[in-house]
Every structure is written in structure tokens, then in C-alpha cells.
A and B are shown apart, each in its own frame.
Chain A
Amino acid sequence: MDIIATALPALADAWALILQPVVLGYLVLGVLMGLCIGVFPGLGGIAGLSLLLPFMFGMDPILGLALMIGMVAVVPTSDTFASVLMGIPGSSASQATVLDGFPMAKRGQAARALSAAFASSLFGGLVGASFLTLFILVARPIVLEFRTPELLMITLFGLSMVGILAGRVAIKGLVAAGLGMLIGTIGEGASSGDLRMSSYDFPYLTDGLKLVIVGLGIFAIPEIIALLRQDRAISQEPQLGGGWLEGVKDWFANIWLSVRCSIIGVVVGVIPGLGGSVVDWIAYGHAVQTTPDKSNFGKGEVRGVIGPESSNNAKEGGGLVPTLLFGIPGSGSMAIFIGAIALLGSGQIEVGPAMLKNNLDITYSIVWLLALANVVGTVICIAASGGIAKLTTIRFSLLAPFLFMIISFAAFQSGQNLMDLVALFAIGFLGILMRRFDWSRPAFLIGFVLSNPAETYANQALQIAQSRFRKGFEEGLDYIFSPIVIVLIVITVISVVLGLRQAKNIMAEGDVQSGSKRAPLVFLLCVTGYIGYAFYDAASIPSFSRDRTFPMFVAGVCLVGCLVLLIRMMLKPETDTIFADREKNGEDAEATHGLWPTLAWFAGLLILTSLLGFILALGLFLFAFLRIRAGLSNLAAAIYTACGIVFMCVMAGLLNRDFPPGLLQDYADLPWPLG
């Protein structure tokens, strides 16, 4: 009763604050800016908020909050455009959306997929806000119950989603996930800073690979290259079917799925330390498990869009709990958000444990501004989706060079190093091969994303547990097997068993024919070689360091998996699913252009960049591509090129970003944007 007595007036105050025309105006402004930036993959909320920071100083708190929240809230909404239309995961929040959203776009259902996604986003945001309004009052003690063993179990639960997405040969999916985890361990270990698969003589890898690069490389590049080879539009149907209304109807027909995934999103978002990286996969897994007919997943099942999209906006709301109540940011953009709040007004809002006591009205304003921004953003997005979906009918060779431009720029922003582009190309190539030989790319990405938390939490939980066991056996057991951990173990085991039983029916990346033995075998041997070397590399770290344990364990399990695969390859005929190869049958085999010439275009952009710097290289690349590959006239190619470069410069200028320099820039001092 006491709680409600304090909450209701604060809630009323919050609404009084929000419902001022000027506040709503700032909110809409923030939403519009967020939509423009969110379309850019890889930049997201961090770039946008950094852009706003200089204006936050001394600003009226509620206006500043409206502007910032407007921007942050719509990024997980607007990045859906890139995921669905181009197969480019705009941010970690929309990776799972790619799996079914993009196939829908290919079938000419882009508008339907988009509006279903947006309706789910909107609903997820509202469910999240309602849940939070009550939950935030009691959240602190509950969140503190999630200690390191609980965090480890949630991470493992996320990893168990690999079971569902493993593909037709479960062990292949397992090895793919393990490979992702090993690639995630590259660089300085978190425990004592020992290097894995890298050296200080070659500093790029010591910081590890960034999610942006791995996400773009593993999903976007293979799709872009594959589409480009076929020389047609994204949508196979000339006539776009399924208008936006149909998407909203799809969402309404699956409203209970949407409710459940929203709750999943908000609950996982509430737990500090995990951020949102697992939420969309857990939601996707849930959507798969609760659908009776699983045969359409990966080929454009609308439930595969509704699930993750319901969860990712709800997660933003959940993420406010660690941010506001503990002062611990759940994500990069939330970290800047905390910093920016300190700049507002005279700095009277202090994020942290005192937030509920001193600023409950502001807390509620933030929660509901977030929900309101979702509504505004979604309405704009749904209105725009029909028009933007027409992009899928454009001949892809006109679109592709600009996509290369955008993903190269996005990749470069993660480390501002030319090596970012090399890494993007390398991971992209791995992605192409995994796609070709039907190795599960989602499993790889889940492994990569969860590698770091899995290692850190495992090491920490072990260390703390050892200390507890020294104090007493019972105390140690109490620490490890808390009720929450036991519940999570049960859920994980059920999920793995069900997942493996169903995995054979779920072809997350469509059906792949089998072909000859040689190419799949060579790829498997290469993967085995890398894993073997990673094992050796980790084993050469001194034995007192905790940094060697995790990569050795993962590599060891993977090596056993590789061995099983090798034996199976030896025993089975070449028609077995284990020899899946896209180059033998189907779209890729019949493509107009070969893999290598197409890939060479992209490589050309990289090589030119390393020589001339990004903008000059881009100019040459765009013109040459449009002229030769797309067959435009000189004039048309020149106009398209100019448009592309101007767009790039305006975007980078506004966001105060640099372009990759090349050799030329070492010798000549050129003005921005050339230098």
C-alpha cells in the first residue's frame, strides 16, 4: 500500500511533465533524428547520443531527456529496415530478425514483414513500460538476487539456443558455435591480460574483434554477394504482395507470442551485465518452440519476425533498471545516456541507488517517454514501410555498391583502423563459406556474442565459489545452486532436448543440396586446423593464468566434434546432408556471375582504400561498378557516384566521423573528407 501511495502521485507528476507541447516537440525531434541514424547499421544510438551531448549542457532536464530518449528508443525500431530489406543486422538487437525477415523480403513480402515487425516493436515497448511502472519499485532486491552463477546460467541458456539453430547436422552447428566462441576469445584475456591468437607486434587483434564487424561480415556480406551474383532485385516477385495492413494483422493473430516475447525482453533486459545481446535469440528460440509447424522458419515465417522484434524494444525499457537504479549501463548507448543526464540542468538528477527516492517522477517520465517515443517512431516507420519496401524491387547491382559503401563505413567506425576493413573482409569470406557449406551462421554469431560473458562469468563464479567452499561446504552449495540457478538449469535442459529433437525440421537458411565430397571436406579441414591451432595457442599460455582454460575447453570440445564430422564424412556417400554445398545446385550454382569476380569488386574497394583513402577509393569504385557491372551510361554512373559520396560526407560530417586514410594520405596533406 505504501508503495502505491508514493508511486501514484509520482506517476501523475511524470505525465504532467511529459504532456507539455514543448516536451512532445523535442521527443518527436529526437525520434526523427534517431530514425535517420538508426537506418545506418553499426552506428546506432551511440553515434546519435554523442551528437546530442554538446547541447545537453545546462538544458532543462525534461527537454533533454525527451530529446535523448526519442533518439535512443527508435534505434531498435529503425534498424529493422536494414535487417529486413537488405539482410544487414543493423544492431545486435535485430540479428535474429534477419533470419526470417530477409527471406520474406526476398519473396516480395517486405512491407508485410516490416509492418509486422514495427507493430511488434510498438507493442513490446508498451508492454515493457507497463511492466516497468510496477516492477521498478520492487526491482532492486530482485536484481541483486542475480549473482554471478545466475548470470552464467542465463548466458548458458542463451547458448542453448544454438540447439534450435544448429541446422540439419547438429554437430556442425555445435562446432560453428564453438568456432564463434573461439573467435570471440581472440585478444587480451579478461582475467590476467594474456593474449590469445594475437601478439603485441600486431596490435589490431589484441582488442579482439568487434560485434559490428562480425555481424556484418557473417550475415550481410554473404547475402549481398549472393544476390549480386544473381543480378536481379532482392524480391523475386515483380509485384510486391502483402501491404502493411497485412503485417499488422499478422501481429494481431500472434498477439500472445508478442506478449510472451515482450516479457522475455523486459526481464532479460533488467539483469545488468548481459545487455541485450541474447534477448532476440532467446525470443526467436521461443517463437520456434511454440510454433506447431516449424517448416517455414528460415524461409520467411512471420512468427520469426514478431518474436525478436517484440522483445528488442521491451528490452530497452528493461535496460533502464540497471541504468537508473544502479547507475550501471546495460549498453553503450545507456552509458552515454548516464553521462548526459549528469550534464542536464544543474546536475540535480543523480542516476544510481538514490534515483527512486529522490527522482521517482523523473524515473517514470523516462519510462513513459521511452514508450511514447516507441509509439511515435513506429507510426512513422509503418507509414514509410510501404514506400521503402519498393527498394527490394530495384535491380540489386544498382543497390549493392552503396551497401558496400555503408557497411565499410560502419565497420571502420568500430576501431577507426584500416584493419577493420580487412577484418570485415576476412569474416565476410568465412561467412560466405559457411553459407555455402550449410554451417549455421546464427549458431556462430550466438557463440561469438556470448563467448565473453560465458568466459568471464564462468571464471568469476568458479573463483568466488572456491572461496565460499573454503568457508564451508554448505555455503558453497548455497552459492552455486540457488533456486534461480536450479530453475534456469531445468529450462535450459528442456530447451536443449526439445531443440535438438526439432532442429532437423528447421532450416534457418533454407534447404541446401549436397554435392561432391571434396570442397566440404577441405572446408572442414581448414576449420579443424584453426581450432587445433587455437587449442595449441591457448595451451601455451602459462598454466597459472585463467585466460587459457576457456579457449582450451571450447577448442577441445570442438575438436571432438570435428573428429566426429570427419569420420561421418568418410563413412557416408556424397549425397549425405553433411556434404551440403550451395555451389552444386540451386540459385548459387545457376548464378549469372561467379563468386570470385563478385568478391573481387569488394576486395578492389578495400585495396583502393588502402592506397587512396576511403573517399577517393569510393568514387572510383562506385563509378567503375555502376558503369561496368550495372551497365549504366557514363553520365548516370557519375550522377549516382556523386550522390553516394555527398550522402556519405554529409552523414560523416554531421556525426563528426573520419574516413579510413590510405597510403596517399601519408604523403600528401589533403583536406577533409579526402585526407
Chain B
Amino acid sequence: MSKLKTTRRAALGLVAAAAASFGLQANAGGHGIDLAGKTVEWIIPFSETGGSAKWANFYAPLLSEALPGQPTVVVKFMPGAGSTKGANFFQEQSYEDGTLIFGSSGSTQFPFLLGDPRVKYNYADWNVVLASGTGGVAYLPPEMAAKMNGLDASGLQGEDFIYGNQGATRLDLVPTLAWEMLGLNVESVMGIKGRGDGRLMFERGEANIDYQTSSSYLKGVTPLVEAGTAVPMMTWGSLDDAGNIVRDPTFPDIPTFKEVCDATEGCETSGEKWDAWKAFFVAGFPAQKMVFLPNGASNDAIVTYTKAFEDVKARADFAEISGARLGKYPQMTGEKAQTALSSATQVPEAAKAFVVNWLQEKYGVSLN
């Protein structure tokens, strides 16, 4: 099985490389697909107002320019049931002419990993053409941050923390599990509509611990840090090529959770708990948003889209425009995207079992 996958991946990589070097011919000849005069529908399983919408709206016009034939790319929003509605819809679609793509997010991945009864989709059936990563930063009010001794968080263990939580089974399980591993007593206040509301709760002094994804941190929290009302605690880190957690390149001066955990008594960077945390971190952040072609997509179509996203990345101004709008995240295509997809959607059974059990014990959430 794994051998088969490797071969397929290698073949894919080869095709992609070939397509990249003969880009022009591929467009003119029969190797790519021509989308001239067509309309590409990009399904986003969230509402117009979320982070996935921002991400898709950023890419849509660039993708339109980069695809052969310059088709119109329209973003179609299909919110419902925490994104499982749109994903289930996409699962039912079969490949036709390459005019249908889907954008998933961490909130689509987590229910899939946790075996949510509403999930009728399977990532293994889809064909990834782009994976966008992100990171996360936890932060504290200054008086709490002062209780940390360098990297050692044991000074915080006796405190009562309040955190605005979007939902026990959402991306928020990565920070809440991390804090629990550090021995912090964090009470989750549920019913937050988005991380922005969580930050507001922190600013109002009701919550005294919070986290934001990288771009929201840069926009919303950096000014607070400058004003002295918030202090960064740790990042979730980012993955190096060997799959190790290293410092987030966007925040090289902020320690990672791994460093803090190592320095804090009672927190282990090995074992069942750590493996579970790492598995869900990998599923939720380094490959948070992905673009897929539906089940049965032709190799030509995969190559065409991969090349188009590579062209977008190769734009001279890409670093500048994406830095301002998406943050400095890795944007992966081809083989890298495949690797990201596998690590994001294949969580070890033990890690899954641990988290399911933990959710049941801590929040009474039953996933069966």
C-alpha cells in the first residue's frame, strides 16, 4: 500500500516536473487541459465571512490568470454543519472537465479525523493541488506572563485561566490540550463565534489566555504587545522537512510549545499525550487549507492546476502580496502538498483514540 503510494507520488512528481519544464507546450498540446471560455467553480464550505473566504478570494483572481485559457474563477460558498455539508457535497461530485475545485480547512479535517457521524467524505478520494500552512501563537496578559520563569511555565500552574473557545472539537483543541499538558487550569467559555471574538474577550479582561493564527496575531495582537497589554507565550512551531517541530519562521523570537513543555515540570515531549497533540497540530496548522480536484480527476487536470498554482507562487510580487494578505505561510504544491495532505489526514489510531477519550472526559462530548 505505502509502496504503491510512493510510486504514484513519484510519478506525479515527474509529471509535474515535466509539465513545468514544458509549460508552454503543455498548454498548447494535449497534456494539459484548456479552460478557455469556461467558469471554474471553487467551493468553499464556509460562509462568505470566514478565514477560508479570505484565502479563496485572494487566490481566485491569481488562479484565473494562471490557468490556461484564463477561465473565470468564482468562489461559491456552501456553509453548513461546520463545513461537513459542503465537503459531503464535493464527495458526491465526479470529475468532468476540471471546472470544479474545493477548498478545505482544518475545520473540515478535524471532524474527518475524529470520526464525526456527519462525515461522508474521504480525503483519500480527492486530489490535492495546493496546501497552505499557518501557525498559531498563544499569549497572556503581562501580569500572568511575569509569572513564567523563562521557558518554565510552572509558575502559572496555580492560576485560574479563562479562554474563549469556539468548540471543543474545533482547532481550539490544539491550544487547550497544550495548556492542559503544561498543567494550566484553563476553563473554556464556549460559544465564541470566531477567534476575533476570543481576542476581544481577552482585551476586555474577561479571558486571560488566548491564541490566534499567525495572520490574525500579526494584525490583532502585535499592536497589543506593542502597547504592553499582551505578551506572547509560545507558538505551536512549524515542521521542518524531517517532520520535527522547529521555531515558526514568522516568529523566530517566540519559543515553541515544545521548548516550553521541555522546560516545564510535568510536561513530556514524548509519549501518548504528546503524540496526540502533535498529530492534531500537524492536521490543523501546517496544512490548514488545501485545494482539491474531485474524485477521478485526470492527470492532465492535476498537472494543469499544480502548474497554475506554481505559476502563482512564482510571480515576482507573490511574496509581497501574499505576505500582507495570508501571512508568511508555506504554499505547497506537487509532492510537498501530497506529503502535507498525508500527514494532515492520517493520524495514528492511538492519537485519535486519546483525543476522543479526552474530549469525552473533559467536555462530555461524545463523538459516536
Contact = CB atoms under 8 A, between A and B. Distances in A.
Interface of A: 46, 49-50, 53-54, 57-58, 144-148, 190-193, 200, 203, 206-207, 272-273, 326-329, 332, 335-336, 339-340, 342-343, 346-348, 350-354, 357, 415-417, 455-456, 459-460, 463-464, 467, 470-471, 542, 544-546, 656
In this complex, the interface size class of chain B, counting residues with CB under 8 Å from chain A, is 35 or more
Nearest to A147: B204
Nearest to B77: A50
Interface in B93-136: 117-118
B7 to A, nearest CB: 36
Q: Which of A146, A354, A545 has its CB near the most chain B CB atoms (within 10 A)? A: A354
B169 interface: yes
B324 A342 contact: yes
B160 A467 contact: yes
Contacts of B199: 326, 328
Given A192-B168, A464-B189, A546-B190, A203 B220 contact: no
Contact of A328 (B62, B75, B197): B197
Q: Across chains A and B, which 8 residue pairs bring their CB atoms closest together, nearest first?
A: A347-B324, A335-B49, A190-B191, A353-B223, A456-B191, A191-B190, A328-B196, A339-B54
Contacts of A273: 197, 200
B262 to A, nearest CB: 30
Contact of B48 (A46, A206, A328): A46
Contacts of A326: 196, 199-200, 203, 220
B132 to A, nearest CB: 15
B76 interface: yes
A25 B78 CA distance: 34
Nearest to B54: A339
Contacts of A206: 81
Interface of B: 47-50, 53-54, 57-58, 60-62, 74-78, 80-81, 85, 117-118, 160, 162, 167-169, 187, 189-191, 194, 196-197, 199-201, 203-206, 216, 219-220, 222-224, 227, 320-321, 324-325, 363-365
Given A53-B57, A53-B75, A335-B50, 18 more contacts: A46-B48, A50-B48, A145-B204, A148-B204, A191-B190, A192-B363, A200-B117, A273-B197, A326-B203, A328-B194, A332-B47, A342-B58, A347-B321, A347-B324, A463-B187, A464-B162, A545-B364, A656-B74
Contacts of B206: 147-148, 464
Given A328-B197, A342-B325, A459-B191, A57 B61 contact: yes
A284 to B, nearest CB: 27
A419 to B, nearest CB: 11
B191 A460 contact: yes
A49 B76 CA distance: 13
A348 B324 contact: yes
13 contacts: A46-B48, A147-B204, A190-B190, A190-B191, A193-B168, A207-B80, A327-B196, A339-B54, A347-B321, A350-B219, A463-B187, A467-B187, A545-B364
B365 A352 contact: no
Contact of A192 (B54, B74, B324, B365): B365
A88 to B, nearest CB: 23
A342 B224 CA distance: 20
A343 B61 CA distance: 11
B207 to A, nearest CB: 8
B219 A144 contact: no
Nearest to A354: B223
A329 B220 CA distance: 13
A459 B48 contact: no
Nearest to B221: A353
B160 A470 contact: yes
Nearest to B51: A339
